[in-house]
Chains A and B, each alone.
Chain A
């Protein structure tokens, strides 16, 4: 195409205004402080005063929000627990998702297509509803404890705990782990396994030496695709976790809606973003490689 920028111009401009610009605003707001007004932060940039207005605005910016962030242990706890819960859930997803994806790749083309559809379908149904379904299962008089009772086993207190959050994360993100793994495993040349076995590998050795190393791009994609959004997850810790389950996504929500502390919410968002910058960059490199 002779004038590519003409095609790119519209989506480019749209994303610049509605995606890039807002991030600058979050960064700016994290340097502001709270006031009792609408909107509830100061300073406001007054362009009508020209250079003096800008100078006064810049002068009033400060790092108070970050100072409070560093001094309050609660934020550190939320930060670490976000990373921990997301890491644990990602590890479980890999262990649970790999056999599923691998199993799917062994079926014939027709069955494989149907199985793929079956894994994707829950993703199309509402996230909120799927998490809601777990409340009825995990609550004290819920379906899980009824089943345990019928088997004469002691009841489990899961709702409002970190364990419930991990169950919810694993459940909601399972398709995001299985699909990239399956995409890689499905394309694998089976003759490689046969060759390995001809050369004296047991099936188990062939799996660990051939299948797993060759599926590493799928593993990387699945891990990033699950881990990054899970760190900032809001709905799952809010509905399934207890008041002690602190995660950054929830912290931002509370600071914003309950405490109306917009600068603090922005500062937490910036910290979260800085933490995720590296994994997001890795994910982008991978996407560009796949899509060319």
Chain B
């Protein structure tokens, strides 16, 4: 089948679309190197906002909290998501499957404000003091649904007969899963973890509801600064975050591509 190449109209719409997506980010990065305090007036190249950032201990604390919340919640979410994906793809009908599937898909589109409010009410009802662990558990709950969908998509196309063959050769079901299935779905598991981690890193609304004293995450800190107006130090943090994410995503893509080729 011969695919028809893109027309001029196709090229222009893709080009304009990408321009629209990237222009604001490019401007933000550019102005993080601005010497002026005014974010929109260019006054020469400078790295002073990065130096200011390195001395901003509140911001650095927030980065540290965010990273720990992200690491723990993404790991919990990936493990639970893996189990949930296996249950949804393998086990056919079990009692309460519809409710289970509903609880997996609903948080994907549910407004964050509602999720945050409901989790907070749970912690209040349980009498748990809010802080690091309540944010972590909340993030694990929401990102678990995303992790499930990513792993489930890969498991759906996995050839079950491979696992059955392993069992015929004497593996227990668990061993067969660990030795045969898991290595084959590993890229999806890694992708699920990355997605969960990024979502946790990025979340403002749920963290604001479920966090307490001493557990201010980076988005919460950024938000309180942004409310006071634009400031070049925020551009500097943002640029660093964008750089980290870009490098991470590019590396993940390259690894995955090399694997599929090999």
Which residues of A are in contact with B by a Cβ distance under 8 Å? 1-2, 4-5, 7-8, 10-12, 14-23, 25-26, 29, 39, 96-97, 99-100, 102-104, 106-108, 115, 117-122, 124-130, 132-137, 139, 141-143, 146, 171, 174-175, 178, 189-191, 224-225, 228-229, 231-235, 239, 248-249, 252-253, 256-257, 262, 265-266, 269, 272-273, 276, 279-280, 283-284, 287-288, 291-292
Q: List 26 A-B contacts (CB under 8 A).
A: A5-B95, A7-B83, A8-B84, A11-B80, A11-B83, A11-B100, A18-B119, A18-B138, A19-B103, A25-B122, A100-B14, A107-B5, A108-B3, A119-B18, A122-B25, A125-B25, A132-B28, A137-B27, A174-B21, A191-B1, A235-B223, A257-B208, A272-B114, A276-B109, A287-B149, A291-B152
B24 near A: Cβ within 8 Å?
yes
Contact call A128/B3, Cβ cutoff below 8 A: no
Q: Give the contacting residue for A126; candidates B92, B103, B141, B201; CB below 8 A.
A: B201
Cβ A234 vs Cβ B205 within 8 A: yes
Closest to A226 in B: B109
Query: Is B107 within 8 A of A19, CB to CB?
Result: yes
Q: Are A249 and B111 in contact (CB-based, < 8 A)? A: yes
Q: Is the CB of B202 within 8 A of A12?
A: no
Q: Which of A128, A146, A190, A287 is B202 in contact with, Cβ under 8 Å?
A: A128
B137 part of interface (Cβ distance < 8 Å): yes
Residue of A22, A122, A248 most packed against chain B (CB within 10 A): A22
Whether the Cβ atoms of B124 and A39 lie closer than 8 Å is yes
Q: Establish whether residues B109 and A121, one from each chain, have CB atoms under 8 Å apart when the complex forms.
A: no
Which of A2, A143, A171, A190 is B4 in contact with, Cβ under 8 Å?
A190
By Cβ-Cβ distance, the 3 closest A-B pairs, closest first, are A232-B111, A4-B91, A22-B118
Partner of A125, one of B39, B137, B242: B242
Shortest beta-carbon distance, B62 to chain A, in Å?
Answer: 13
Q: A115-B18, A119-B18, A129-B28 are in contact. List 13 more A-B contacts (CB 8 A).
A: A1-B173, A18-B138, A22-B119, A96-B17, A100-B17, A125-B241, A126-B219, A128-B219, A133-B238, A134-B24, A262-B121, A266-B121, A288-B101
